[in-house]
Copies of this chain bind each other. A is one copy, B any other.
Amino acid sequence: MTRDRGPYPSLVPLYPLVYDGMVRRALQEDLGNAGDVTTDAVISPDETAAGKIIARVPGRIAGIDVAGHAFRCLDPALKFQAEVADGNEVQAGDEIAVVSGSARAILSAERTALNFLAHLSGIATSTRDIVARISAHPCRVVCTRKTTPGLRSLEKYAVRAGGGSNHRFGLDDAVLIKDNHISVVGGVAEAIRKVRGRVGHMVKIEVEVDTLKQLEDALSENVDAVLLDNMTVEMLTEAVRMTNGKAVTEASGEITAQNAESIAATGVDLLSIGWLTHSAPALNISLEFGIKL
């Protein structure tokens, strides 16, 4: 059994192939059939300008390349210069990037670029908040499959940018036996045994347990990880003691900024937090425009 608690390495960038379709769809969604009627009426196509992307509040940045891609999808001649890297901290007023070229293209792509950047930076910021709170403990923060439809690979990346780790990316990359599965099969051990022999040799198995009795059953079946769902700090402490390193322990259920540290202090390996991807507020980021070149 492996306990991986080290810090996440320097963030590996995503290939544009991964988000190219998302960005184009978002631009088309905003432009519609008529395009940017305001800018087209006010700004000459020949006008050039530059704009600064500015953080309005402190936070952790994610999605700079995606934002740059949005600008260049509209006009490949736009120059996009990142001033900070994904995973970096910014303070209020910090410059994140400078975009320059056709004033019209900058203004037409602005909202799409910022929508990606603010959404992903919001996830990174919320993640690093939780990660910071448990820094005294050898415990990782992981996200879930509760992601915004269509944006999973980007949101998982944003969690990494915030210093968190990723749980499953989909239904397809690991086994997680949940309460609903158990209720059909009739018991934790039965469900695990049913999985054994049916999944590939490269697939790990985790099981959700609500009670210490279920945990005992799971451990007796040598699962790779246990999801300790909605347990009190006392139960978690006992669960970690019972597990004794034989499986990765993951606490789940209503974990907040307030209780994260006390849960991490129980010795669990992972805190599983769905709201990092489904409810983290966007980071306040804007484009300050009008620097004539």
Any chain B CB within 8 A of the CB of A39? yes
Residues in chain B near residue A137, CB distance under 8 A: none
Chain copies in complex: 6
Any chain B CB within 8 A of the CB of A18? yes
A: number of interface residues (CB 8 Å): 120
Any chain B CB within 8 A of the CB of A14? yes
Interface positions, chain A 129-161, Cβ under 8 Å from B, are 140, 142, 145-153, 156
Chain A at the B interface: SS class: mixed
- Contact indicator per residue, chain A 114-139, by CB within 8 Å of chain B (1) or not (0): 11101100100000000000000000
27 contacts between A and B (CB under 8 A): A5-B197, A9-B41, A12-B104, A15-B31, A15-B74, A17-B28, A29-B170, A33-B153, A33-B170, A37-B173, A37-B175, A38-B195, A41-B194, A42-B191, A42-B195, A43-B184, A51-B180, A111-B146, A115-B146, A150-B151, A167-B202, A172-B173, A173-B173, A179-B289, A184-B290, A202-B225, A279-B282
| 16 more CB-based (< 8 A) A-B contacts, given A35-B153, A47-B184, A118-B278 | A4-B197, A9-B41, A9-B197, A10-B44, A12-B35, A12-B104, A17-B24, A30-B172, A33-B170, A33-B172, A42-B195, A112-B149, A148-B151, A167-B200, A169-B172, A176-B202
